[in-house]
Structure 1
Amino acid sequence: MPDRTEPGAAAGAPLLGGFADRRFAALHQAFADSLADGTELGASVAVTLEGEPLVDLWGGWADEARSRPWVEDTIVNVYSTTKTMMALTALLLADRGELDFDAPVARYWPEFAANGKDRVQVRHLMAHSAGLSGWTAPMTPADLYDWDKATALLAAQAPSWEPGTASGYHGMTQGYLVGEVVRRITGRTLGTVFREEIAGPLDADFHIGLGPEHDHRVADLVPPPPPVPVPGVVPSALLINMATNPMIDARATRTRDWRAAEIPAAGGHGNARSIARIHALLANGGVANGRRLLSEATVRRTLQQQTDGIDLCLGFHARYGLGFGLPGPWLQTPNPDSIFWCGWGGSLGLIDMNARTSFAYAMNRMSSGLLIDPRALGLAQAMWAGLAA
């Protein structure tokens, strides 16, 4: 049992629950302060070390009216942090020999070969380098709930650049691309495979496709303020296409249609505890909750760099491994064997294999930046400081 602090008594901290190992007193205080000063509306943060939970904090409010407290089992849509769960599902199939990342996508999904995509490999899907960062055919928000339409359009579409030569962030499309490969191999949706073979065995409260019985536990996302234009920086056509076809409205996450749909790149619901619990699998060589689900060799494949350079969609330098971001200009880490991904508005999942640590942060007050949210980064830096103490 870790030497814990019980943070509910922290000065001025409203509705704060959970625990933190004493090594993470600074992280605990920073989280409490962010709730007390209004930086946060509602949020959760968690840390595991060698699979053991050392930080599990939550607090604040689940809605703007401050009528529902953020409690222990509150969950929230974490947008692109969901991609880490999608990647884990693909890694599981690869570990079993059912999926080859170096194989052409068309081996599993023959229709995908159309329009010059016959040599696009599965690893290109995993690293945002397949040239399909957005749909070229018009899409409505409701089309995101139509799996067959979304995947058929991508299968028919020509790539926007030569696949494998550069990354271009596949913000929404990556989930349909990887998810359809998973469906073709297993005969099940990605959300089903994830639930039955990862979340279930790890007793983790994370969902890709959420049943109505959980609606009362979901915190409302508060949309971010409009982004502030950067002088001299013009958004790329690829970024505009990704962000507006279809137009994404954070308030859609409050609807039953969004919650029920399996949107593996952006529609996952969980909290910091469940994200960190699942990511402990990667932090500890494929073992979590006393169970080995992946080989260590498969886990370490996530560290294999796939692209390194200016992302054609986002317009800044990015390094991608197999299904995850790698340390670089947008996230500097003290240990090299680290992988991560973040979600629109601020959520973050981070795995430090050298320290055998997983870190997670989930919140409902969204920020407008595309890079790592300062709230999450500050808490992660406090985690590393605590580990080093």
Structure 2
Amino acid sequence: MSIGGALREAFDQDPRGGSALAVVKDGQVVVDLREGWRDSARTVPWDADTLVNVYSVGKPVIALAVLMLVERGRVGLDDPIARHWPSFKTEASVRQALTHTAGLPAFPVPRPAESWAEWDVLCADLAAASPEWPPGTVAAEHALTYGHLLGELVRRVDGRSPARFVAEEIAGPFGADLAFGLGPADRARCAELEFDAPDWPERNAGEPGSVKERAVGNPAGARDLAVVNGELWRSATVPAVNMHATALGVARFYDELMRRRVGAMMATGQFTGVDRFIGGDPLTWGLGVQLEADGTWGMGGLGGNAGWADPGRGLAVAYVTRRLGDFATVDRIEAALNSSTDRSDIRF
């Protein structure tokens, strides 16, 4: 079976009631699959223009925004964040923010869901915060804080909002259908998220008192369907977790990255060890992406979304879903890609 056939089989095995898989090679779309509906009532079919909240799959996008400024000589990887953000108290570097080692994995001040629309408030909270560990010593995915740390750097150095920078410097030039801070037209094509089971928020809350519990719970609402399916969330800019994209948009992002020098920069290992947010086995962080032992690199997103680059085959892969569950489909997709012993086998 060709890789393309294996991928279709992996995608079709467990329909999610709204999901998509895309693979791009050298700018050419070689797989573009979708199934299900855009809405929970199952009345609007999922189509090529359907956007969905992909959670942490958006983190590499805001990381790239910072790395573009590094390439242009406007920011240094080892610059103290405070050099560009004078009110920032933690003695962390830009590199440490990019690699989830800045020691600020959780917003320090309890805030309601409405605060997702208050960029300056949340950035002020981070600026005044004390790190939980000396920066550079511990990795803990900055689940909700990552986008504000990096996005505020972009705003202070470049002058544009992070949403506008991404639109003008990344989404547009890359031909990638992805965005933060959606306008009315884009909000109208968003898929409604739903849980695979009623206990999904509890299953993904973390142990009481853990880094994960604190990191994902404040501000409120990031795992609340009433919030994430609402206008406030979709129109806000939360670069750590609220990028809305098509599968093809995410795949085009990685395809373009692999053909740019900044992609190699992003995929350079920076920290290897146990991540206190993710737990489990040691992992390796690059500058905004996770690096895998097989040479692939990218980022998964809460609920089963993922996007990654496979440089060995020259493939950019993305899977997105509106049904928040596990990563079983992504695991099957990876297995299908690895089912060929000949890495030159790219027949679709």
TM-score when scaled to structure 1?
A: 0.82
Residue identity opposite 2:138 in structure 1:
A
2:215 maps to what in 1? 242
State the structure with more CA Rg. Answer: 1
Match of 1:177 among 149, 173, 178: 149
Counterparts of 2:181 and 2:122, CA distance in 1? 16
Counterparts of 1:144 and 1:173, CA distance in 2? 11
2:185 maps to what in 1? 213
Identity among equivalent pairs (%): 34
Q: Work out whether 1:381 is the aligned partner of 2:339.
A: no
Counterparts of 1:94 and 1:33, CA distance in 2? 43
- 1:126-145 to 2 correspondence within 5 Å? 126-145=98-117
- 1:122-201 to 2 correspondence within 5 Å? 122-201=94-173
- 1:1-389 to 2 correspondence within 5 Å? 23-35=3-15, 40-112=16-88, 114=89, 117-118=90-91, 120-225=92-197, 226=199, 234=207, 236-247=209-220, 248-251=222-225, 252-284=227-259, 286=260, 296=261, 298-316=262-280, 317-327=282-292, 335-336=294-295, 338-367=296-325, 369=326, 373-385=327-339, 388=343, 389=345
Residue identity opposite 2:214 in structure 1:
N
Contact persistence 1:222–1:250 (CA under 8 A) = no
SS of equivalent residue, structure 2 residue 56: coil
Q: CA deviation at 1:305?
A: 2.0
Distance 1:236 1:358, change over 3 A: farther
Q: Structure 1 stretch 185-194 or stretch 302-311: which is displaced more?
A: 302-311
Residue identity opposite 2:212 in structure 1:
L
Counterparts of 2:7 and 2:200, CA distance in 1? 28
Q: CA deviation at 1:90?
A: 1.5
Q: CA deviation at 1:344?
A: 0.8
Render the CA deviation track for 1:272-328: whole Å, top value 9, x for unaligned. 1010011112222x1xxxxxxxxx2x321222222211212233333211111111x
How many equivalent residue pairs?
337
SS of equivalent residue, structure 1 residue 81: helix
Q: CA deviation at 1:228?
A: 10
Q: Structure 1 stretch 216-225 or stretch 99-108: which is displaced more?
A: 216-225
Q: Structure 1 stretch 85-94 or stretch 260-269: which is displaced more?
A: 85-94
Contact persistence 1:80–1:265 (CA under 8 A) = yes
Residue identity opposite 2:228 in structure 1:
T
Distance 1:305 1:147, change over 3 A: same
Q: Structure 1 stretch 157-166 or stretch 133-142: which is displaced more?
A: 133-142
TM-align CA RMSD: 2.0
Where do 5+ consecutive residues of structure 2 fail to align?
none
1:18 maps to what in 2? none
Q: CA deviation at 1:383?
A: 2.7
Q: Structure 1 stretch 72-81 or stretch 376-385: which is displaced more?
A: 376-385
Counterparts of 1:224 and 1:319, CA distance in 2? 29
Distance 1:139 1:215, change over 3 A: same
SS of equivalent residue, structure 2 residue 284: strand
Counterparts of 2:136 and 2:160, CA distance in 1? 28
Residue identity opposite 2:264 in structure 1:
R
Distance 1:236 1:169, change over 3 A: farther
Where do 5+ consecutive residues of structure 1 fail to align?
1-20, 287-295, 328-332
Residue identity opposite 1:144 in structure 2:
W
Q: CA deviation at 1:82?
A: 0.8
Distance 1:319 1:142, change over 3 A: same
Counterparts of 1:185 and 1:313, CA distance in 2? 29
Contact persistence 1:46–1:57 (CA under 8 A) = yes
